Every structure is written in structure tokens, then in C-alpha cells.
């Protein structure tokens, strides 16, 4: 009997790499340069998973043109890469986890709000792209998380129904996007404590890193969920 196709879909920032503090630092420095002060924790909860142009318009003005947000985004992301570059590494156990998943015929995708340059910086910088059946980023969808677009496109490109996909996330907006896509979620507490995800009924496991996860147990952990309307 042919097994129903299954997929793991990974957020990138804060999930494949533990880098969200560097994103926050770069945003704070970027905004401070323009006379704007933000609380780091509040900023993360409001922004993690959203696309750069969405964040930029929230904090720099809703009337910014696409060209203006693109220029500002490029400046901010360059600052981030300079800060995080010396620290670039995968979360503990990630490479072993995805290699085992491939051996068990689980399809793999990345679904991130990151722009193309950051995807290259991370996936190619760590030589991880070769493992994935699909890589979907900010350039591929119009809306960031909590909208489900990026996860649904990743599932489509993998040829796997949403109900047979498990998303790996570190941010509430990402978990909500998975819920709206009809997908279960595993939370990595790289950035926020488990208590930050208590409201989500699609979370099937919370772990510190990938060494704590068992592939078969994840797929057996919960029945399929329905896509939210």
C-alpha cells in the first residue's frame, strides 16, 4: 500500500536558526536611527512572521510606497546579516532530524517571511537548501503570517494535503498561520516560553530543539485538523 504523502514545513528564522534576537536588535537599531523607540518583546510578538514591508509600514508609515519599503527593507536586512553572520548555525539536532525525515519519505519545505537575500544567507550559508523539496519566501506570496498563504503554497509545491503537513514554528503569528492553513504545529521555544502558545489548539508538541523530537510520534500525536475559514 502506498503511504499517504506527508510533509514537514519549517519556518526559518527562529526555527531552523536561533536568530530572532539578532533580527530584533537590527530592527531596534534601524528604528532608533530614525528616532523611534520600541519595546523588544512587544515588537517581536507584533512582527515575527510578518513580511518586511508589512512591518515597515506599521512602524514607518502606512503611506510608504513599494519602492520606499524595498529600500528600507534592504537597509534593515543588511544590518541583520552583518550582526548575525558570525553566529550563523542551525538549531541543535536540525540536520539529523531532517535527514531522518528524508529516510522516512517525509517531504520537506521551508516557509518563511524572509526576503530572498536572507534565504540565500541562511540556507545556502549552511548548505541546507539541498534537503528541501520546496522553499517559499516573502517574494512568493502577497501576505505574511498570520495569513496561511506561505504554508499553503509550500504544501502545494510538496504535493501534500494541508492536513498531512506539520509546521515547525517559534512565533505565535506563525502558529496561527498554520492553524488557518489546517496544519498541526510544533513549537520551538528558541524565542518565547511555552506559555506564549497556550491558546493554540493545533500545537501538538513544544520542544527546546530538534533533539527532543520523534518523527513517528509527531505524526501519531493528533488527528488531522480542518482549515480555518
60 and 140 together in one domain: no
Distances (CA, A) of 205 to 73, 120, 175, 189, 201: 33, 29, 12, 11, 11
CATH number reported for the structural domain that contains residue 216 in this entry: 3.40.50.1000
Q: Flag whether 212 is in a domain.
A: yes
How much is the pTM? 0.88
- Quote the strand ranges of the chain, DSSP E: 6-10, 106-111, 134-136, 165-169, 184-188, 203-207
122 and 215 together in one domain: yes
How much is the mean pLDDT over the chain?
A: 92
> 81, 138, 143: which is closest to 115 by C-alpha?
138
> 99, 125, 158: which is closest to 12 by C-alpha?
125
Give the per-residue pLDDT at 229: 44
Give the per-residue pLDDT at 205: 94
Out of 3-17, 28-42, 74-88, pick the least confident.
28-42
51 and 97 together in one domain: no
Q: Flag whether 228 is in a domain.
A: no
Of the candidates 31, 60, 86, which is a domain's last residue?
86
59 and 111 together in one domain: no
Number of domains in the chain: 2
- Contact (CB, 8 A) for 136 and 162: no
Question: Does residue 63 have an active-site annotation?
Answer: no
Give the per-residue pLDDT at 1: 43
67 and 154 together in one domain: no
Q: Is the peptide bond before 37 cis (omega within 30 degrees of 0)?
A: no
pLDDT tens profile 119-153: 999 999 999 999 999 999 999 999 999 999 999 99
Q: Flag whether 208 is in a domain.
A: yes
Given the residues 11, 13, 73, 170, the one annotated as active site: 11
pLDDT tens profile 85-116: 999 999 999 999 999 999 999 999 999 999 99
Residue 32 exposure: Cα atoms within 13 Å on the Cβ side = 9
Distances (CA, A) of 55 to 26, 58, 82: 13, 5, 20
- Residues of the domain holding 53: 20-86
The more confident residue out of 87 and 73 is 87
Amino acid at each position: 500500500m502506498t503511504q499517504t504523502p506527508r510533509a514537514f514545513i519549517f519556518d526559518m528564522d527562529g526555527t531552523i536558526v536561533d536568530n530572532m534576537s539578532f533580527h530584533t536588535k537590527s530592527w531596534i537599531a534601524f528604528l532608533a536611527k530614525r528616532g523611534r523607540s520600541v519595546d523588544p518583546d512587544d515588537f517581536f510578538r507584533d512582527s515575527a512572521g510578518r513580511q518586511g514591508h508589512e512591518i515597515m509600514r506599521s512602524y514607518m508609515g502606512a503611506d510608504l510606497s513599494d519602492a520606499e519599503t524595498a529600500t528600507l527593507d534592504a537597509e534593515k536586512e543588511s544590518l541583520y546579516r552583518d550582526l548575525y553572520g558570525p553566529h550563523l548555525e542551525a538549531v541543535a539536532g536540525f540536520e539529523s532530524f531532517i535527514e531522518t525525515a528524508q529516510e522516512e519519505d517525509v517531504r520537506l519545505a521551508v516557509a518563511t517571511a524572509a526576503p530572498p537575500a536572507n534565504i540565500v544567507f541562511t540556507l545556502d550559508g549552511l548548505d541546507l537548501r539541498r534537503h528541501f523539496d520546496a522553499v517559499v519566501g516573502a517574494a512568493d506570496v502577497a501576505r505574511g503570517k498570520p495569513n496561511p498563504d506561505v504554508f499553503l503554497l509550500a504544501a502545494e509545491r510538496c504535493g501534500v494535503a494541508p492536513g498531512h503537513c506539520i509546521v515547525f514554528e517559534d512565533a505565535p503569528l506563525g502558529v496561527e498561520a498554520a492553524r488557518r492553513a489546517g496544519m498541526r504545529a510544533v513549537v520551538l521555544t528558541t524565542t518565547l516560553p511555552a506559555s506564549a502558545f497556550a491558546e493554540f489548539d493545533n500545537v501538538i508538541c513544544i520542544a527546546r530543539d530538534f533533539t527532543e523530537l520523534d518523527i513517528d510520534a509527531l505524526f501519531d500525536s493528533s488527528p488531522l485538523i480542518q482549515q480555518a475559514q
